[in-house]
Amino acid sequence: MGAFLDKPKTEKHSAHGEGNALRYGLSSMQGWRVEMEDAHTAVVGLPHGLADWSFFAVYDGHAGSRVANYCSAHLLEHILSGGADFSSESSSIEGVKDGIRSGFLNIDEYMRSFSDLRQGLDRSGSTAVCVLLSPTHLYFINCGDSRAVLSRDSQVGFSTQDHKPCNPREKERIQKAGGSVMIQRVNGSLAVSRALGDYDYKCVDGKGPTEQLVSPEPEVCVLERVAEGDEFVVLACDGIWDVMSNEELCDFVRSRLLVCDDLEKVCNSVVDTCLHKVRSEVRGAGSQTPVLWVLTPLSCLLSRPLQGSRDNMSVVLVCFPGAPKVSEEALKKEEELDKYLEARVEELLGSCGEAGVPDLVSVLRSIGAENIPNLPPGGGLISKRSVIEAVYNKLNPHKEEEGVKEEESEEGGGDAAAHLLEALRQFRLHHRGQYRAVLEETLSAC
């Protein structure tokens, strides 16, 4: 699960670029995690005579950043040097897919030779979700539980499937390799069933690399490009998908493109929103329902529902020529919304009287209880937090003191980990000897 900070690190790494009739932006934030383990790749114009091809990827590392960082720098070269003839794509789409698969298997085997990984000094692993764009096709590549979505004709046209241990095909492979799936994890520990690295789970004698407890084999899906329908592709780690469904994220990105043509800012808005957004119950195709919603009455024992992503967050946005363009009508509605929210904050702080200035969380809750039109779809009021917070800090002379109160309020006045441990203890006591069986049965029903 990883350790958490007392306060999130909200500094972002952002970048953008364009070429091959594409524009892209990206953003990443460490957030609540003690370390930043995400990495990414963005290359427009590939070597080896593939100037009209492009490649984008997000890597979500775990147990360290070693594997994720190496893959971000070298996965593409392993794919391109895998022996496939990418230049003759029209006659060999399967050949390109084979080249991608070989690239993943080759880099996984190559990293195994690194001394720190071989000797167990570093036990890191990483998911990888990528899109390889040729002039005619989109190659979606997934290994793990990061995810890619395609927005086509103003709706989700495609999404990759998360590789979770509970998925029947993944579970069958794990069990054939002598492992088990407990609490949605490989041997009760690792939450993904496919990944690069993670060599502790790849040492079953007599089994090939794709038959191990954790497989490095990617799932590759190919779609023909549709010039008049394709809008954008989003690649993101599970820190984003934990709090947004496929539809929510596509709707939110679409709405931001109508008011902003700076893709860095759009990606920054996604990350900022996910830091505070209440977790979605529907996480999209191929995902699993978070544990805390399944274990009722376990969830009832927690002091409050989890809010905001607690993970590292990374998102890459690739826009096609058919992506939404800035609209004067949308800009006008956005301006009207911002002015309304600013006025409401002024009213709430101006009418507090002897009760004292409410903290920011209380202000957000008060405004959130209203029926406000034209909020960004998929993001809702929390995506306008920066607007509300700016006015609040301007009008509140004790904002630093209130900021401390706000953090205490958001933490529910206690340690979330302690609440969870107590909840698990009570759950075990309630079910006595059937604890493990009931837990596994409940989670397997996801």
Spatial separation of the C-alpha atoms in residues 253 and 276, rounded to whole Å: 17
Whether the Cβ atoms of residue 139 and residue 220 lie closer than 8 Å to each other: yes
pLDDT by residue for the chain (446 residues), tens only, comes to 457 899 999 999 999 999 999 999 999 999 999 999 999 999 999 998 999 999 999 999 999 999 999 999 999 999 999 777 787 665 589 999 999 999 999 999 999 988 777 777 889 999 999 999 999 999 999 999 999 999 999 999 999 999 999 999 999 999 999 999 999 999 999 999 999 999 999 999 999 999 999 999 999 999 999 999 999 999 999 999 999 999 999 999 999 999 999 999 999 999 999 999 976 544 444 444 344 333 434 443 343 444 689 999 999 999 999 999 999 999 999 999 999 999 999 999 888 766 678 888 889 999 999 999 999 999 999 999 999 999 999 988 666 544 444 444 444 444 555 556 656 655 555 555 555 665 665 555 44
Confidence (pTM):
0.85
Nearest to 253 by CA among 220, 231, 237, 238: 231
Which residues, in sequence order, are CB contacts of 294 under 8 Å at separation 6+?
442, 443, 445, 446
User: Looking at the domain 4-319, which fold is it?
Assistant: Phosphatase 2c; domain 1 (3.60.40)
**What number of other Cβ atoms are within 10 A of residue 372's Cβ?**
15
Pull the structure tokens for residue 203.
């040492």
Burial of 112 (0-12, 13-18, 19+ CB in 10 A): middle
Given CA atoms 347, 349, 350, 356 in this order, what sign does their dihedral have?
A: positive
The answer to whether 194 touches 214, Cβ cutoff 8 Å, is yes
Provide the residue ranges of all domains of the chain, joining segments of one domain with +: 4-319, 328-410
Per DSSP, the residues of 165-183 read TTSHHHHHHHHHTT--EET
d(CA 420, CA 427) in angstroms, rounded, equals 10
Cα-Cα-Cα-Cα torsion 72, 74, 76, 82, nearest 10 degrees, comes to -150
Alpha carbon of 116 to those of 62, 67, 103, 189: distances in Å? 16, 11, 22, 21
Q: Which amino acid is at 165?
A: P
State the CATH architecture for 328-410.
Orthogonal Bundle (1.10)
